[in-house]
Amino acid sequence: MTPAPLLSLVIVVRNDARGLQRTLLSIELQQTALATLPSELVIIDGTSSDGSLSIAEAFRNRRNLPTRVIEQPPLGIYPAMNLGWRQARGRWLMYVNAGDRLVHATPLLEALPEAPSNLWALQGRSAIQPPGLPWAFEVMSEAVHCHQALVYRRELHTRLGPYDERLKVCADTAFMARIPAPYRRYLPALLAISSVSPADASRTPRSIQRDLQHLQTTKNRLKPWSKPRLSLTVLRLERWLGVSWSVWMRASLGLLRGTHRWVKVG
């Protein structure tokens, strides 16, 4: 029997062939480091109809990285992410979903093999990329927790439970908030880049409103949005205009404050 990998990369995709190609290319560019770890790739496809499944299967058949492709009905992002960790064999998990880019896997070569048992999670740096542009804003602050740059022990789901499938937008934020601070460590390295657009599911006002109502009903003190009413108003305006101006305004201010910096996207 093949030994279990150290790291499982999980991709969730549904009808995003272009984004999946971008993600797989970024993983392929990190193949030397991933083979050293060693790693596996688990792709969860939500019954795509745009060719995403064929792209995933073609990558698997090249056998450059141990890859499994699993189909499930389009139940939503968090049911797919839950299936991902249940199917993963690695001791550590990292979600790099369709459209995200894995930038640097090398820092994980030193961090994961010798990680002490009381280290449950590593939070690296992430960057956000304006659609179609060759640069991104890297977030330098340790206070920003992004699931694209989070690497954590798979057994945490035994301790903390699955992603809350009743939430539509912020279940990843809710899960990360439950990881005790003494058991996670900041990794000062850029691990992933994600794109941001008004069409993103995480920026859907209706879904955000439902999550806010659920958090209030369950008396959950999590505050994914510091000013919910203002955030919803801004997002509704952005979807109407087709521009994520608030994200780039905050990032630009971050450049002035030193919490962000420019990075070129290859």
pLDDT (tens digit, 9 = 90+) per residue, 104-138? Answer: 999 999 899 999 999 999 999 999 988 778 889 99
β pairing state of 184-195 and 121-129: parallel
Average pLDDT of the segment spanning 46-58 = 95
Q: Fold for 7-196, please state it.
A: Spore Coat Polysaccharide Biosynthesis Protein SpsA; Chain A (3.90.550)
Distance of CA 95 to the CA centre of its chain: 5
Q: Is the CB of residue 12 less than 8 Å from the CB of residue 47?
A: no
**Residue 145 has what pLDDT?**
79
Average pLDDT of the segment spanning 48-61 = 95
Query: What whole-number percentage of the chain has pLDDT above 90?
Result: 64
Among 23-37, 134-148, 156-170, name the one with the lowest average pLDDT. 134-148
Among 27-31, 67-71, 84-88, 221-225, name the one with the lowest average pLDDT. 221-225
**Residue 87 has what pLDDT?**
97
Determine which helix (DSSP H) or strand (DSSP E) holds 75, and give its type and residue range. Answer: none
Average pLDDT of the segment spanning 72-97 = 95
